[in-house]
A and B are shown apart, each in its own frame.
Chain A
Amino acid sequence: MTSGLLFALAGAALFAMGMVGVVLINQLLRRILAFNLMGSGAFLVLVGLAQRSGGPDPVPQAMVLTGIVVAVAATALALALTRKLYTLTGRLELPMDADG
């Protein structure tokens, strides 16, 4: 097993953990963190799988670099919306589902 494949496997595990968090957590800040965990997992899979057979591949690396910056922008927007929700309603949680 190459280290690239190991990165990809760890990325898959991170993605799954983040996915569980996004679905199950009602607190918005923790949900945003879980969403970022999903993104980091996807980035690890991209970079790891691309370099499992030898040296690094610059194309996925450049894509991940682009993705990181976009993820930062999305996180900032999510935080701004969360903060607005807190100002307007005083809550940082989403309402529970009926079967929650």
Chain B
Amino acid sequence: MKRIAVVAAALVFVTALIAAMLELGAPAIDLRAPVAAHQAQSGVSHSVTAVLLNYRSYDTLLEIAVLLLALLAILAVVGDAPVSPPRAAHPVLQTLARLATPLMVVVAVYLLWAGAFRPGGAFQAGAVLAAAAVLLHLVGLAPGWSRPRLRLRLGLVAGFVVFLVMAAALLPQGALLQYPRAMAGGLILLIEGGLTLSLALILAGLFLFLSRDEAAS
């Protein structure tokens, strides 16, 4: 009974939504023109990066805060279970992972650098780096992570702290995260560098902190 009611409600909802979308008029606010008009002042020449790290950089600031919060919650949940020893995969897989990892690091650096003028940026670069770490762990070349020590903790919070310090230092400019025009490009690259490092560690940590032998706890 409940099943039928839920499916029927969903069908009504999706029909109404599709009908509304088909009837939708032109958007009342079109932000493409203002984004393009201020591109030259933003410090980067790719519009998505300009939105992410200049026009709406507080979104990105809060995003890295949310990621950090999720990781802290995971660390609180997993507790002190011992790290399970890495299980070695087939040698062919291990060799492939060894070959792929340096390439992934190069791709990550390229993505970070390319973010200024074409699709790419800190998030993509961090995701590729995290994927490399997970790959190494899955083939048994890298152990899972236990409770983080000082160095790892610093790496995890570096992106957020750099971003936050920048926001505080730039407050005299008048608005939150309003960069001085001449320095915008350099500041964005600095923030993106910190974000890449922290995002890679956080995303890898979301996986590697969980790779524990829960049964043994």
Contact between B18 and A72, CB atoms less than 8 A apart: no
Asked if A33 is at the interface of the complex by the 8 Å CB criterion, the answer is no
- Restricting to B113-129, which residues have a CB under 8 Å from any CB of A? 123
- Tell me the nearest residue of chain B to A79, going by C-beta: B210
| Complex Cα gap A74–B21 (Å) | 29
**Given A16-B10, A58-B32, A62-B48: A83 and B206 within 8 A (CB)?**
no
Interface string of A1-43 (1 = CB under 8 A from B): 0000100110011011101100110000000000000000000
Asked if B99 is at the interface of the complex by the 8 Å CB criterion, the answer is no
Asked if B47 is at the interface of the complex by the 8 Å CB criterion, the answer is yes
Contact between B56 and A59, CB atoms less than 8 A apart: yes
Q: Which of B2, B26, B56, B78 contacts A62 (CB 8 A)?
A: B56
Contact between B31 and A57, CB atoms less than 8 A apart: yes
**Interface residue SS majority, chain B:** helix
Contact between A70 and B2, CB atoms less than 8 A apart: no
Contact between B74 and A77, CB atoms less than 8 A apart: yes
Which residues of the partner chain B approach A61 to less than 8 Å between Cβ atoms?
A: 48, 51
Q: Which of A9, A58, A66, A77 contacts B70 (CB 8 A)?
A: A77
Instruction: Enumerate chain A interface residues (CB-CB to B < 8 A).
Output: 5, 8-9, 12-13, 15-17, 19-20, 23-24, 45, 49-50, 52-55, 57-59, 61-63, 65-66, 69-70, 72-74, 76-77, 79-81, 83-84, 86-87, 97, 99-100
